[in-house]
Amino acid sequence: MILVFGKTGQVATELQSHKDVIAIGRGQADLSKPSTCAEAIRQYKPRAVINAAAYTAVDKAESEEGLATMINGEAPGAMASACADLDVPLVHISTDYVFDGSGTTPWSVTDTPNPKNAYGRSKLKGEQAIKASGSAYAILRTSWVVSAHGNNFVKTMRRLSETRDRITVVDDQIGGPTCARDIAQTCLSMAEQLIQEPTKSGTYHYSGQPNVSWCQFANAIFEQMDCQTIANPISTREYPTPASRPLNSRLDCEATQKTFGIARPFWRDGLVEILRDLEGEDDRA
Tens-digit pLDDT profile for residues 59-96: 999 999 999 999 999 999 999 999 999 999 999 999 99
Kindly report, residue by residue over 19-63, the tens digit of the pLDDT. 899 999 999 999 999 999 999 999 999 999 999 999 999 999 999
Residue 22's DSSP bridge partners are 3
CATH classification of the domain holding 215: 3.40.50.720
- Residue 279 pLDDT class (50, 70, 90 cuts): confident
Mean pLDDT throughout 97-111?
98
Mean pLDDT throughout 203-207?
98
Backbone angles phi, psi at 138, to 5 degrees: -130, 115
- Residue 113 pLDDT class (50, 70, 90 cuts): very high
Q: Does 5 score more than 70 pLDDT?
A: yes
In the chain, the percentage of residues whose pLDDT exceeds 90 is 97
Instruction: Output the pLDDT for position 283.
Output: 67
- What range does the domain containing 271 cover? 2-284
Structural domain count of the chain: 1
97 is catalytic: no
Instruction: Output the pLDDT for position 285.
Output: 58
Q: Does 280 score more than 90 pLDDT?
A: no
Q: How many residues does the chain have?
A: 285
Mean pLDDT throughout 237-265?
97
Using a cut of 0.85, tell me whether the model's pTM lies above it.
Answer: yes
- Name the average pLDDT for the chain: 96
In the chain, the percentage of residues whose pLDDT exceeds 70 is 99
CA nearest to 75, candidates 110, 113, 43, 49: 49
Instruction: Output the pLDDT for position 226.
Output: 93
Kindly report, residue by residue over 147-180, the tens digit of the pLDDT. 999 999 999 999 999 999 999 999 999 999 999 9
Instruction: Output the pLDDT for position 104.
Output: 97
Backbone angles phi, psi at 244, to 5 degrees: -65, 135
Instruction: Output the pLDDT for position 281.
Output: 75
Q: Which of 119, 137, 204, 206 is catalytic?
A: 119
What is the C-alpha separation between 264 and 110, in angstroms, rounded? 18
DSSP states along 156-192: HHHHHHTT-SEEEEE-S-EE--EEHHHHHHHHHHHHH
Task: Burial-class residue 253 by CB neighbours within 10 Å (0-12, 13-18, 19+).
Answer: buried
